[in-house]
Chain A
């Protein structure tokens, strides 16, 4: 039996809904009769029109002003639930803000949440969340032992975002009983070239094996030639070679491109979680025992400083 209503915490990236919000909404449409969204960004009417194309019937809009949304949004959700308007399940995304809203709400409702989900299964009266653990080597299925609404957070790319069940989503402005305490005073966007990591068909990532920050240039040239997005392992992000927005992995972005090229990346669990779902994986690494070779479709045991320049030349001359 499907669920009756599911709420999805939806966020914007610029003037569009985030892909992960559309992914969660698409899944919600599949498991529930009615999908509603919570939103605290700008231009709620236009945003709701977009969500309507994915089957959302109602958007609760909360004005958080210049503050981080966790306190106001969670307090507004709780107030709505306390009024008796409660869904069966609330889906959050493993984004910076959504995770924080969930953190506040789990305390507000005094109710546990399941995080890092990659699947949700409705089986009769039970709802189960699938989660990959230990670097994606095992899938655990976890059942809620709480009252409804169940609280769950999902990782990017867990579901396919597909329009459907078109509705004209009504916008309902909701007051937040608690105001935010943390003020955003400025926003900075780091420039990056090429396609977005999460959406790219090809991703070329570099790791510690590049040896030094300057050698990341090779990754950028190769990415440019292939129309790919450049990515990175946590090691070189921590080392300050490239900005955090390049990071692929458990703490970074999850990517599922057609082709993932890992250069000088040994394949720590932290990294593999973020790219294991790629259709094809090509790895170049000096160490023949590097874990990345256990999942590579094509592995080149060799020096990235030789293989990459040769590859770049070969592609240029085509």
Chain B
């Protein structure tokens, strides 16, 4: 059982995001980290390989400046190798470009049974990159998986819905996006962190992939204005000294809901 996992390396989400004032592209300077949402896919892939009695987890990522720090985290968890696409021309890529790049990179990952991804990234969250990758690879796709089981050539997924969940089945290979909470990601061990330093990361450019018409120059959209959203004013802040609940009662009365 070989699994490819798409992972994104993003700026620390604790630091407020910024757009470049000239290009309006999202700033991705400084150290990038593994998107938290992707740790679930990596963990799921490792568990599926263990359950199948063997196989390899390959990471696929697109990031500027040959950034590998997030990939090292996932390699330290137990992934075997990584393919990184890094190219200045990819700054400002839209989701379709991103999907094209990742799909091409996946084709270089060797034989695989399953492609996993997060349901959406924490920083860009268009949320349709996994489905678009599946379409480009000509594969079926299941999004929003909250549990995954493999039996023979079929994957059984519990897929989240507005009302609860559906049980769905798909032939393999397939692309599946997983929700946070599908599994509990492991912490990399010291041994894992040391081993990750020597695991292969194949770094490729757009031309290595034989792709054209991707990246910022080919984007099908352009940000023409950025405005501050109407700000909400903070209201009254009270420290509870046993009477806090009465303030709430009063507020609800003023709003005529009680």
Q: Which residues of the partner chain B approach A299 to less than 8 Å between Cβ atoms?
A: 234-238
Find out whether the CB atom of A245 lies under 8 angstroms from the CB atom of B227.
no
Known: A102-B128, A187-B166, A288-B239. A141 touches B144 (CB 8 A): no
Chain B residue nearest to A181 in the complex (CB): B140
Which of A13, A114, A134, A259 interacts with B252 by CB under 8 Å? A259
8 Å CB contact of A188 from B119, B166, B234: B166
List residues of B (169-188) whose CB comes within 8 Å of A's CBs: 169-171, 174, 179-181
Tell me if A111 is interfacial: C-beta within 8 Å of chain B. Answer: yes
Given contacts A134-B16, A190-B163, contact A145 B219 (CB under 8 A): yes
Q: Is the CB of A307 within 8 A of B258?
A: no
Q: Say if the beta carbon of B99 comes within 8 Å of chain A.
A: yes
Binds A, one of B58-66, B72-80, B194-202, B240-248: B240-248
Find out whether the CB atom of B127 lies under 8 angstroms from the CB atom of A244: no
Partner of B238 from the list A112, A270, A301, A308 (CB cut-off 8 Å) is A301
- What residues of chain B lie closer than 8 Å to A238, measured between beta carbons? 180-181
Minimum CB–CB distance from A318 to chain B (whole Å) comes to 7
Q: Does A100 contact B227, Cβ atoms closer than 8 Å?
A: no
- State how many residues of chain B have any CB contact under 8 Å with chain A: 78
The main secondary structure of chain A at its interface with chain B is: mixed
Contact A187 B140 (CB under 8 A): no
B29 at the interface (CB under 8 A from A): no
Shortest distance in angstroms between A3's beta carbon and chain B's nearest beta carbon? 17
Q: Does B94 contact A (CB under 8 A)?
A: yes
**How many angstroms between the C-alpha atoms of A115 and B164 in the bound complex?**
24
CB distance from B244 to the nearest CB of A (A): 4
Residues of B within 8 A of A307 (CB): 240, 244-245, 248
B222 within 8 A of A: yes
Q: Is the pair B240, A303 in contact by a Cβ cutoff of 8 Å?
A: yes
Residues in chain B within 8 A of chain A (CB atoms)? 13, 16-17, 19, 24, 94-97, 99, 119-120, 122, 125-132, 134-136, 140-144, 146, 159-171, 174, 179-181, 219-229, 232, 234-240, 242, 244-249, 251-252, 255, 257-258
Interface residues of A (CB under 8 A from B): 13, 18, 68, 70-71, 74, 94-96, 99-100, 102-104, 106-108, 110-116, 128, 132-134, 136-146, 153, 180-190, 201-202, 226, 234, 237-240, 243-245, 250-251, 258-259, 261, 269-270, 276, 280-282, 284, 288, 293-303, 306-308, 310-311, 314-315, 318
User: 25 A-B residue contacts at CB 8 Å?
Assistant: A68-B142, A71-B140, A96-B143, A100-B143, A103-B132, A104-B134, A106-B135, A107-B96, A107-B99, A113-B220, A141-B226, A141-B227, A144-B220, A182-B168, A183-B170, A187-B166, A258-B257, A259-B252, A284-B244, A288-B237, A293-B237, A300-B244, A300-B245, A303-B240, A314-B249
